[in-house]
Amino acid sequence: MPADRLATMTESLIREMTRIAIAHDAINLSQGFPDFPTPAALKQAAVDAILGDHNQYAVTWGSRALREAIAAKLGAWYNLDVDAERHVTITVGVTEAIVVTLMALINPGDEVVIIEPFHENFYPAVVFAGGTPVFVPLEPPAFRLDADRLRAAFGPRTRAIILNTPHNPTGRVFSREELQIVADLCQEFDTIAVTDEIYEHILYDGRQHIPLATLPGMAERTVTCGGLSKTYAITGWRLAYTVAPASISNAIRTVHDFTTICAPTPLQEAAVTAIHFPPEYYAQLQADYHVRRDKMMGILADTGFGAAPPQGAYYVMADFGGVGFPGDDDHAFALWLTKEVGVAVVPGSSFYRTPGMGRGLVRFAFPKKLATLDAAHDRLKAGLPKARALSTTT
Ligand code: PLP
């Protein structure tokens, strides 16, 4: 029998949708990984690192060259004062970063605030650490952080809050005012903020990323989790990092050491090349994502979905009320769309734990070649009219 802690957990729905997509030969707009190539310089750097015999365990908290490159980058981009030796730990993805951070900080009975909708990893991470999740839903279509609702979730047992910006799945980039609400509550209730900033470089319409740790008083109570998966199209390399005050870093390193020992050594070496990419790389990344986002929004408008353009990240939560499908059951619609239309998406309610939230919504992921998005457009145009036929027969 599985352990009790798994009782409230289901298999990752996103990976399940991917499996269903493969079984039905559907275009997979459910899982957030690029279908375009990784930059050639990075592939070469990985080959060079292996041939150069960087093949044994790295220092537990990460290759020094990579930690130094990350510390320098955070200084240059955000004016953060980061010491590679004391503050930076390289992890096996942000997924591990969040889990080991919570394992390092949470005692049984401690509460952890999770803003809904949320990336599927957050809830298991809190449960694995023995914490109690407290959910604060964001309401569609604006998905703004409500100060009163957030305050109501804080109390004497609130040990941590997980904040993801730019946000998956809504595409929100939280404003400085919204971040200040979080910062004020963290300081009032002596709470640690654990941020997930994996989409820091995927921003639209001139928006800027503001790390929570840059707000006054927050560097000493924030664990900043950043990742390389999305920025450099290397989701399979499994590289990310935490930046935290020295005492918290030490705790994180202990858990990390006994969980994974270290992230893959040759890929850490190769990732130094990525962190040293010039500013033009990030400008091009944003330009390319603008084109993808605008194409995705055009496809949704053309096929009857309702959605606000994302401000960052590469997802859009779309309302399917206008496509003619009977009812608002997002699971039924996502399955039907995958099997009958050939385009895989994720049901909106799977990003919430609060019952009823997310119905009527599905998430499209668009880190894809334009040809992939065009093919999805063709399938939606051809297949969605069948939804109207369904409505009239049921
Ligand atoms: N955090 C968020 C918000 C994500 O959307 C994802 C992947 O989709 C991850 C973390 C996973 O990151 P990693 O590949 O670094 O484990």
Give the pLDDT of the chain (394 residues) as one tens digit per residue.
Answer: 889 888 888 777 888 888 899 999 999 999 889 999 999 999 999 999 999 999 999 999 999 999 999 999 999 999 999 999 999 999 999 999 999 999 999 999 999 999 999 999 999 999 999 999 999 999 999 999 999 999 999 999 999 999 999 999 999 999 999 999 999 999 999 999 999 999 999 999 999 999 999 999 999 999 999 999 999 999 999 999 999 999 999 999 999 999 999 999 999 999 999 999 999 999 999 999 999 999 999 999 999 999 999 999 999 999 999 999 999 999 999 999 999 999 999 999 999 999 999 999 999 999 999 999 999 999 999 999 888 888 665 5
State the pLDDT at residue 303.
97
For ligand 1, atom 2, the nearest C-alpha belongs to 119
State the pLDDT at residue 113.
98
Same fold, 4-31+280-383 and 55-275: no
State the pLDDT at residue 165.
98
CA angle 202, 220, 223 (to 5 degrees): 40
Q: Which atom of ligand 1 is nearest to the CA of 14?
A: 8
In CATH, the architecture of 55-275 is 3-Layer(aba) Sandwich (3.40)
What are phi and psi for residue 357, nearest 5 degrees?
A: -75, 145
| Owner of token pair 């059951």 | 329
Closest among 261, 343, 206, 271 to 70, alpha carbons compared: 271
**C-beta of 197 in contact with ligand 1 (< 6 A):** no
Cβ-Cβ contacts under 8 Å for 214 (sequence gap 6 or more): 78, 79, 80
Q: Which atom of ligand 1 is nearest to the CA of 235?
A: 14
**C-beta of 170 in contact with ligand 1 (< 6 A):** no
Ligand 1 centre from 348 Cα, in Å? 17
Ligand 1 centre from 148 Cα, in Å? 28
CATH number of 4-31+280-383: 3.40.47.10, 3.90.1150.10, 3.40.50.300, 1.10.3720.10? 3.90.1150.10
Q: Where are the domains of the chain?
A: 4-31+280-383, 55-275
**C-beta of 168 in contact with ligand 1 (< 6 A):** yes
Ligand 1 centre from 387 Cα, in Å? 33
For ligand 1, atom 8, the nearest C-alpha belongs to 32
For ligand 1, atom 10, the nearest C-alpha belongs to 94
Bridge partner residues of 192 (DSSP): 160
